[in-house]
Amino acid sequence: MHGRKLIPRPIPADVSVTALVEDFFFSYNAARLREACRVFVERMLQPDTTVCLTISGALTPAGLGYAAFVPLVEAGFVDWIISTGANLYHDIHRSLGFDLYQTSPLVDDVRLRQEGIIRIYDIVFDQDVLFETDAFIREVLKAPEFQKRMSSAELHYHLGRYVRERERVLGLPHRSLLGAAYEAGVPVYTSSPGDSSLGMNVAALRLEGYEVSFDPELDVNETAAIVYGAKRSGGKSGVLILGGGSPKNFALQTEPHIQEILGLDERGHDYFVQITDARPDTGGLSGATPSEAVTWGKVDPDQLPDTVVCYTDTTIALPILTSYALAKRQPRPLKRLYDRRSELLEDLRRDYLAQQAQEGPGA
C-alpha cells in the first residue's frame, strides 16, 4: 500500500487552522482541500510562479473581499485577477460607508421588496445602497482618464484609486479589492464587462455622450500576454479558481489563445486549483476539469499531479486556504503586472508577428 497512513487522534480545543488542515483533513473533499492548500502554498507561491485568481459567486457581499482577497493581494500571493463585475461592484458599498447585514434566508421577499430591501441569500441591505453606489461610480467615470476605450484592467485601476481615496477620506478600516489591487499594481479583469452594475453604469454614461468604454479584445490579448510573459521568462503560471463560470474560462483560454490562435509554442498552465460545487456530468464542468483541460491545451499534461479540484463551498474553503497560506508563507515581492501591461503586450505582439512572417502568406 502506498499513501499516507491515517492515524486519527482527538481534535484539541486550541487547534490552529494549519494543524486542522494538515492533521485532521483526512479524506474525501477535506483531503482535497488539504491538497489544494499545499499545492497553492508549496507550488504556486514559489517566486517564479505568476498566480491568477478567478472569482465568481457572491463572495464580496459576504465580506470575503476584505477578509480574504485583500490579504492575499497585499501578501503578493495573487498577481492578477479575473472577477465577475458584481463582486467588484458590491465590494464598493462598504468603501462608501454603507452597511450590509446578515439575516435568515427564510424571509418574505415580497415584503422586503415593499420595504426597499435587497437580499443576496442571507445578506440584506437597503436599496439606497445601490442607488448611492451607482451615483458614485457614474460621477467617477466622468473623469477625463476614463474617456476612451480601454481594457477592463485599466478602468478598474483608475476606479480603484478613487475608491481607495474615498476610504481614506471617510476614515474607514475597510479596504476594497479594487483599492488594494490599485495599490499593489495587480490588474483586475472582468470577462463579461456588460454583465454587472458597473457595466450598466458605463452604458448609461455612453447614452449621455461620454466616451468611457471597455475593450474586450484588449483584455484577451493582455491576459494572454501576462501568461506568455510568465512562461517566456522561464517561470510558471498557476490559476486559483473560485467557483467557475466566465472568469474561469477567461483565465484558462489564455493558453489556447497563445497556442491555437497566435501559433506560439506553449504547453499550458502549470498549476490548477479549483474550489467548486459544479459537476462535469451535468455540464457544469464539462471540458473544464484539469484532465479535460489538457485536451484543450489549457493545462500542461506533465503537471497534472499539481492540479486539484475540491468540491465544496467557496465560502468555507477560501477562509481556510487564506489562513493556511498566510501562516505557511512569507509575503512575496509584488510583481506589479499592471505597470508592465504594455511591455508584456508588445512582447506577445512581436513574437506573434514574427511567427506569422515565418509561416508566410496563406499559412
Residues marked as catalytic: 298
Q: What are residue 272's DSSP bridge partners?
A: 239, 307
Residue 139 grid coordinates: 460621477
What end-to-end distance do the CA atoms of the chain give, in Å?
Answer: 53
**In contact, 251 and 52? CB cutoff 8 Å:** yes
> Of 184, 156, 163, nearest to 55 (Cα)?
156
Give the whole-angstrom CA distance, residue 231 versus residue 299.
Answer: 13
Residue 102, H or E segment: strand 101-102
Q: Is 245 helix (H, G, I), strand (E, B) or coil?
A: helix
**In contact, 127 and 117? CB cutoff 8 Å:** yes
Listed in sequence order, the residues at least 6 apart from 354 whose beta carbon sits closer than 8 Å to its beta carbon are none
Residue 26 phi, psi dihedral angles, 5° rounding: -80, -45
Q: Is 159 helix (H, G, I), strand (E, B) or coil?
A: helix
Residue 333 grid coordinates: 515581492
DSSP string for 122-147: TEEEEHHHHHHHHHHHHHHTTSGGGS
Q: Is 54 helix (H, G, I), strand (E, B) or coil?
A: strand
Task: Output the CA–CA distances (angstroms, integers) from residue 331 to 16, 75, 176, 328, in the order listed.
Answer: 20, 4, 19, 10
Note the residue count of the chain: 363
